[in-house]
């Protein structure tokens, strides 16, 4: 079973339905024990970084998530589920993240482009993760965000996207896959990613 972590922020039903559509057993959970018992962990989320960290802390879920990653359990982070992996965010003042990866979460610089970055955009794949079966370069995915991650270790960057600047849109290291875009809103290609993660969990 894959645990979809419910901490009060996120497009949980769409993520759950996406997994079910591709035949993957994924269930919404709210407690640390369920995360410990799951074979894989999914952390979705939309909204503010600080609220996300507060909710995870208040629900005593941060330690369970970090331990699951350290044990090598497959992890899929979506939007905020990517951002909270990093050291800190500058959103509404500096806020500490889970520090799984060193780096910052920063706001898009001022430009003629609208912020939030919302809608369909392409990926420039730097290294193809094993959950990307049947997905090639320049594939379109759905984004909604005002902030993006800046990893200190560029070796974890799996894909970038152009929106005024070339920003990191996906990271991958070992058992951790995390993306700024929303696979659950990205139609057929998004479902392929969810299926790919499910297949990865089965083999783990």
Q: Which residues are catalytic?
A: 79, 182, 184
How would you classify residue 88: left for phi > 0, otherwise alpha for psi between -120 and 50, otherwise beta? Answer: beta
Task: Report helix angle 49-58 to 62-70, nearest 10.
Answer: 90
Residues pairing with 94 in the sheet: none
* Strand 157-163 to 40-43 pairing: unpaired
Q: Which element (helix H / strand E) includes 82? A: helix 80-83
CB 87 within 8 A of CB 151: no
What is the spatial distance between Cα 24 and Cα 193, in angstroms, rounded to a whole number?
Answer: 12
Nearest partner of 15 among 40, 50, 51, judged by Cα: 40
Q: Which helix (H) or strand (E) holds 76?
A: strand 75-78
Q: How far apart are CA 35 and CA 135, in angstroms?
A: 29
């Amino acid at each position: 079973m894959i645990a979809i972590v419910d901490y009060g922020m996120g497009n949980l039903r769409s993520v759950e339905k996406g997994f079910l559509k591709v035949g993957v057993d994924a269930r919404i959970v709210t407690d640390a024990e369920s995360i410990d018992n799951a074979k894989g962990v999914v952390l979705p989320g939309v909204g503010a970084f600080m609220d996300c960290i507060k909710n995870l802390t208040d629900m005593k879920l941060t330690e369970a998530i970090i331990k699951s990653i350290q044990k090598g359990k497959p992890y899929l982070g979506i939007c905020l589920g990517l951002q909270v992996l990093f050291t800190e965010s500058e959103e509404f003042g500096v806020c500490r993240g889970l520090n799984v990866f060193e780096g910052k979460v920063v706001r898009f610089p001022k430009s003629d482009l609208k912020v939030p970055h919302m809608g369909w955009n392409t990926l420039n794949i730097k290294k193809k993760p094993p959950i990307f079966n049947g997905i090639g370069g320049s594939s379109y995915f759905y984004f909604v965000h005002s902030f993006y991650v800046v990893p200190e270790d560029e070796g974890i960057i799996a894909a970038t996207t152009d929106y005024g600047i070339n920003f990191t849109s996906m990271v991958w290291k070992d058992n951790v896959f995390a993306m700024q875009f929303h696979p659950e809103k990205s139609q057929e290609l998004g479902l392929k990613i969810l299926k790919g993660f499910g297949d990865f969990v089965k083999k783990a």
